[in-house]
Amino acid sequence: MNSFIRDLEKAISDEWTAYYFYKDLKQRTNNPLYVEFIEHAKKDEKEHYEMFQYLHYLFTGEYYEHKKEKIEYTTFKEGILRALKNELEAAEFYRNLLLEMPNKQAYNPLFIAMTDEMEHATRFSTIYNSLR
């Protein structure tokens, strides 16, 4: 269970970081499709953060206080590539976390996040490939 909680805390931090990363990334483009795709991911990341905080509370009796990190990047294209890589890693991370889950309450939030991350990767891949 300790390993699962530690990984859940990482997920909480990562989701918070992704939300603010996408908030910034969205401001670096005026392409309506890019804005739509980034906004969709940003909204999902906030939902994942809230679901994971709730899970943490269910398992530990308290919400997780995470350190606030910011993703640095210089160009929009670099940010999109970073987002794509992060989303692919997150999908794999949540798949592995699903295999470690201590009870069925964790299944839905983890499954939703895992599949959302795969969708986000597709969206960011579309943006990245159109920037070439």
- pLDDT tens digit sequence for 62-92: 999 988 899 999 999 999 999 999 999 999 9
Q: What is the DSSP letter of 48?
A: H
* pLDDT value for 54: 96
Averaged over 20-47, what is the pLDDT?
98
CATH (domain of 75): 1.20.1260.10
* pLDDT value for 104: 87
Q: Which residue carries 């994971």 as its tokens?
A: 52
pTM of the model: 0.93
Q: Give the structural domain span for 84.
A: 2-64+71-130
* φ/ψ of residue 83, rounded to 5: -60, -45
Give the Cα separation of 67 and 93 in Å (integer). Answer: 20
Confidence tier at 36 by pLDDT (50, 70, 90): very high
Contact between 24 and 51 under an 8 Å Cβ cutoff? The reply is no
Percent of the chain with pLDDT over 70: 100
Per DSSP, the three-state class of 83 is helix
Tell me the torsion sign for CA atoms 71, 76, 78, 81. positive
Averaged over 93-107, what is the pLDDT?
90
Q: What is the DSSP letter of 86?
A: H
Confidence tier at 103 by pLDDT (50, 70, 90): confident
Q: What is the DSSP letter of 27?
A: T
* pLDDT value for 32: 97
Number of domains in the chain: 1
Per DSSP, the three-state class of 65 is coil
Q: Which amino acid is at 51?
A: M
